[in-house]
Amino acid sequence: MNPLTRRKLTTIALNTAGVVVFLAAVFPVYWMVATAFKSNNQIFTTDFIPFPTEPTLDHVERVFDKGVAGNSIWVYLKNSVIVAVVTVTIGAVFSLLAATAVARFRFKGRVPFLILLLVAQMVPAEALLIPLFLNLQRLGLYDQLFGLVVVNVGLTLPFGIWMLRTFVAAVPKELEEAAWIDGASRFTTFWKVLFPLVAPGLVATSIFSFITTWNEFIFAFTLMRESTGYTMPVAVQFFFGQRGTDWGGIMATSTLMTIPVIIFFLLVQRRMVSGLVAGAVKG
């Protein structure tokens, strides 16, 4: 075989492999969306129907009108948005403060604190769930969206600080020093110099926390008793408790839950990887 045909064949083989990987990655997601828009006839069949050839909005309308567990999906979407947005807002303030401390100052206890942030990512949710469940009950925050917010702030903060500190560290210190020389106070420097430069990083970190909170299931499932307080993942799970699984409805709800995440994800994916593997990739 001459080298030219060989190179051509390699290219074809690589591109085929690429298409296969793409299809394998995308198909399950596509199948969820496709099922959400299929008629029941086309859902409950042993045949393979690649496209919703009789597309219908029945399932989407049904989950909004009738919903699940006695409430429209609006209720759960609203709860999910409230919990995620409030968590992210509170988390952004605290993680920015802590990240500044860790990235800008050398102080006693800094390294132990950073190690604490890493170790926090290991703790299994079940370990915290049991004591937090009892604590929230004692504090009267059980079955309250605010209680769920508090828990989610705790869950997202360690990684938020870890990720944000690299953004703070990336801002040249000379800029702040220049402001100090001009007589600016610490607060003015922070607010007028550091904050605008860290803002993109803060957005990336916040989106990451948003996704974590939006996806969180086990705490929402355990800490909210009344169905009016369920978040999206809990509502999706609730479909299975009913007699005869309503796959059209489930897929419509899952699609509504997944789309915001996919959008956000495409916005921050690059930064997320660099945050997670931070040290390792730098070498």
Site for other proteins in 64-123 (CB under 8 A): 93-95, 97-98, 100-107, 110-111, 113-116, 118-123
Out of 1, 187, 243, 244, the only residue in the binding site for other proteins (CB under 8 A) is: 187
Report in angstroms how near the CB of residue 65 gets to other proteins at its nearest. Answer: 21
Can residue 266 be called a binding residue for other proteins (CB under 8 A)? yes
CB nearer to other proteins: give 29 or 57: 29
Report the C-alpha gap between 125 and 219 in whole angstroms: 8
Q: Which stretch binds other proteins (CB under 8 A): 58-66, 69-77, 81-89, 161-169?
A: 161-169
Out of 127, 146, 192, 199, the only residue in the binding site for other proteins (CB under 8 A) is: 127
DSSP codes, 32-72: HHHHHTS-HHHHS-SS---S-SS---HHHHHHHHT-BTTB-
Long-range contacts of 268-274 (CB under 8 A, 24+ apart): 268/204, 268/207, 268/208, 271/163, 271/201, 271/204, 272/163, 272/204, 272/208, 274/166
Report in angstroms how near the CB of residue 193 gets to other proteins at its nearest. Answer: 11
Can residue 195 be called a binding residue for other proteins (CB under 8 A)? no
Out of 4, 240, 243, 244, the only residue in the binding site for other proteins (CB under 8 A) is: 240
Can residue 1 be called a binding residue for other proteins (CB under 8 A)? no
* Amino acid occupying residue 246: D
Out of 73, 224, 236, 252, the only residue in the binding site for other proteins (CB under 8 A) is: 236
- Name which of 94, 25, 83, 36 is nearest 236 in CA terms: 36
Q: Provide the token pair at 181.
A: 């020389």
What DSSP element (H or E) covers 101?
Answer: helix 73-104
Q: Which stretch binds other proteins (CB under 8 A): 52-60, 61-69, 70-78, 263-271?
A: 263-271
Can residue 181 be called a binding residue for other proteins (CB under 8 A)? yes
Out of 1, 3, 53, 131, the only residue in the binding site for other proteins (CB under 8 A) is: 131
Residues 17-36 that bind other proteins (CB under 8 A): 17-18, 21-26, 28-29, 31-32, 35
Out of 77, 145, 148, 153, the only residue in the binding site for other proteins (CB under 8 A) is: 153
Can residue 48 be called a binding residue for other proteins (CB under 8 A)? yes
Which residues on neighbouring strands pair with residue 71, listed in sequence order?
68
**Planar angle of CA 101, 103, 104, nearest 5 degrees:** 70
- Name which of 113, 83, 91 is nearest 101 in CA terms: 113
Can residue 199 be called a binding residue for other proteins (CB under 8 A)? no
Can residue 283 be called a binding residue for other proteins (CB under 8 A)? yes
- Number of residues near other proteins (by CB under 8 A): 121
DSSP codes, 168-233: HHHS-HHHHHHHHHTT--HHHHIIIIIHHHHHHHHHHHHHHHHHHHHH--HHHHHH--SGGG--HH
Can residue 132 be called a binding residue for other proteins (CB under 8 A)? yes
